[in-house]
Amino acid sequence: MTTTPLALPGPPGTAVRVLRVVAILACLPYLTLKAAWLAGSRVGVPEGSLLLEQPRLIAVANAVTLLMDLAVIVLALLLTQRWGQRVPAWLLAVPMWAATGLLVPVMVGFPVGTVAGLWEEPHTAAVSSEPFLDPWVFTVVYGGFIVQGLALGALFVRYATGRWSHVWRGTVRDLTPRVSGPVVRAVAVAASLALLPVAAVHVGWASGMTEGLSPSQVASRTAGFHALEALRALYAAAAVTGVGLLVFRRGRGLPVRVPLALGWAGSGAVGCWGGWQFLAALAPSADPAKEPTALLTLTYAGEMITGMVLAGCVAVFLRRRAG
């Protein structure tokens, strides 16, 4: 994409300022908790929590995730300030893609997992749960993430519409062969084929398969776990479908923004969430029953790699369409 400055008639309007404030305020609960934990507080952390098993590792993770949420504030400012108009396209697109990939699974998964849990037997839920965080922490943190995603997404759509609306203008029928080319199509096919067995593993786990899960995961499965695993397969399907429609110019009557949104969000959810869990799987565990299996680690690595490759196909499409 080009670095054409965003043409705004003046300072942001009331709606934009409200969205900016909402996005920033939604970060505060998470940032407050992380800062408290880094300072030694155990608020929201119950006795026996696995978070207490590796204090140094958890401290590093808390510091990293605190910085990641601070980046949301930077993005909210960038999308609404005049200096943000001069930011190179890639410097905005990469963190926004990562934010999409990390927030979408929470925005979709938390409500779905909560609803799935309503049909679960209370005894099953009690037996399967292990001390991790107090229940209110999930509500506060994930609720904040959902608000962040909605506000930041609205700001990004506004910004991108003013700066790059020509990139997704028209229908798939209007796309020329140069937006992809044989190399991009071959890469998209290879990544899609590599993602199929990964998605199949998630379908298996969603359906009750235990192969590849650690003993601790098998014992702690809930209705929410099965629902979230099914969603992982849907993210993969969205990524493959969106990228495939773009690079092969199929679904010719569709607005370009439809497969572009599928490819962007799907590849982000697959690549970023898979990458995050891959890093978590590499962390040492004090309990052998919680040690990630080889299949689990490979599944996350496969998601990370294929998601990033499919995102690369989207990036090539955007750059070539922008001219």
Whether residue 150 sits in one domain with residue 211: no
pTM check: above 0.85: yes
Domain ranges, residue 41:
1-165
Whether residue 89 sits in one domain with residue 7: yes
| Pairwise pLDDT comparison (257 vs 55), residue with the higher score | 257
- Quick: pLDDT tens for 25-78: 999 999 999 999 999 999 999 988 888 888 899 999 999 999 999 999 999 999
Q: Which of 144, 165, 186 is the last residue of a domain?
A: 165
Whether residue 316 sits in one domain with residue 230: yes
Asked whether the predicted pLDDT for residue 5 surpasses 90, the reply is no
Whether residue 320 sits in one domain with residue 288: yes
**What's the total number of domains in the chain?**
2
Whether residue 161 sits in one domain with residue 218: no
Asked whether the predicted pLDDT for residue 22 surpasses 80, the reply is yes
Whether residue 88 sits in one domain with residue 71: yes
Whether residue 193 sits in one domain with residue 314: yes
Measured between alpha carbons, how far is 300 from 58 in angstroms, rounded to an integer?
A: 20
- Quick: pLDDT tens for 84-140: 989 999 999 999 999 999 999 999 999 999 999 888 766 555 444 567 899 999 999
Quote the pLDDT of residue 121: 67
Whether residue 298 sits in one domain with residue 253: yes
